[in-house]
Chains A and B, each alone.
Chain A
Amino acid sequence: DIVMTQSPDSLAVSLGERATINCKSSQTVLFSSNNRNYLAWYQQKPGQPPKLLISWASTRESGVPDRFSGSGSGTDFTLTISSLQAEDVAVYYCQQYYGAPPRTFGQGTKVEVK
């Protein structure tokens, strides 16, 4: 199974500052035939289900603010919030959907306001 490891487990960022979350997979999630990374990012606010933010490592979903961006390839990925807003306080998860199941998530990164 592919193990997803996020870092840090939590971070506190001042409003308007940049937040960076890292995600590392135990094996590549890049499919060479189509050059796509099978990696998604989700945001989960307290008491709510997860919300898909980014698919294919860097494709922002419709309606997601452009301060959210995803980057990386192969086994190393990053979610960046360029200017943290109060409504961005949440737990963020990466998830791989490469190959056969199981689908696996990172352990989550809690983002708070400093």
Chain B
Amino acid sequence: EVQLVESGGGLVQPGGSLRLSCAASGFTFSSYWMSWVRQAPGKGLEWVANIKQDGSEQHYVDSVKGRFTISRDNAKNSQFLQMKSLRADDTAVYYCARVMDGSRWPNHPFDYWGLGTLVTVSS
């Protein structure tokens, strides 16, 4: 059974940093693109970043470029989101999601999602 479990969320002050983790199980982690998707309270879904199977390629939404870094450790079946210079509008539930299909290209939907971890940026 595919499982994605996020951790690392919490309350952080504006300008602070936080590192999210996603532990994957039930599939060959190293074969899939992975992503982070966030959802502000009461709002819609926003894709944040994705990372290629071997970590050699990453993409980000414009609003987090230069502040967030996505990475992965295939030996530990985990991906991470390092967040710096956090702002109030980064407050959201952050979901770890798998890109379907295991293709070399990330042009597939998200077929599995974790339950999410809440990040609150507030003083």
Q: Once the chains bind, are A97 and B107 in contact (CB under 8 Å)?
A: yes
Contact residues in A for B95 (Cβ distance below 8 Å): 49-50
- With A101-B50, A102-B61 known as contacts, the answer to whether A107 contacts B44 (CB < 8 A) is yes
Q: Once the chains bind, are A97 and B50 in contact (CB under 8 Å)?
A: no
Q: Which of B50, B59, B107, B109 has the most CB of A within 10 A?
A: B109
Asked if A95 is at the interface of the complex by the 8 Å CB criterion, the answer is yes
Asked if A58 is at the interface of the complex by the 8 Å CB criterion, the answer is no
Task: Report the interface size for chain A: residues with CB under 8 A from the other chain.
Answer: 25
Q: Once the chains bind, are B45 and A95 in contact (CB under 8 Å)?
A: yes
Asked if B62 is at the interface of the complex by the 8 Å CB criterion, the answer is yes
Asked if A86 is at the interface of the complex by the 8 Å CB criterion, the answer is no
The residue on B at minimum CB distance from A38 is: B107
Give the docked Cα–Cα distance between A107 and B59 (Å).
Answer: 22
Q: Once the chains bind, are A93 and B45 in contact (CB under 8 Å)?
A: yes
Q: Report A's interface with B, CB cutoff 8 A.
A: 38, 40, 42, 44, 48-52, 55, 61, 93, 95, 97-108
Q: Report B's interface with A, CB cutoff 8 A.
A: 35, 37, 44-47, 50, 59-62, 95, 100, 106-111, 113-116
* Given A52-B109, A95-B45, A108-B45, 14 more pairs with CB closer than 8 A: A44-B45, A49-B116, A50-B45, A50-B95, A50-B110, A50-B113, A61-B111, A93-B44, A98-B107, A100-B59, A101-B61, A103-B50, A105-B46, A106-B44
A-B pairs with lowest CB-CB distance, top 9 = A40-B109, A49-B113, A101-B59, A103-B47, A105-B45, A108-B44, A55-B109, A107-B44, A102-B61
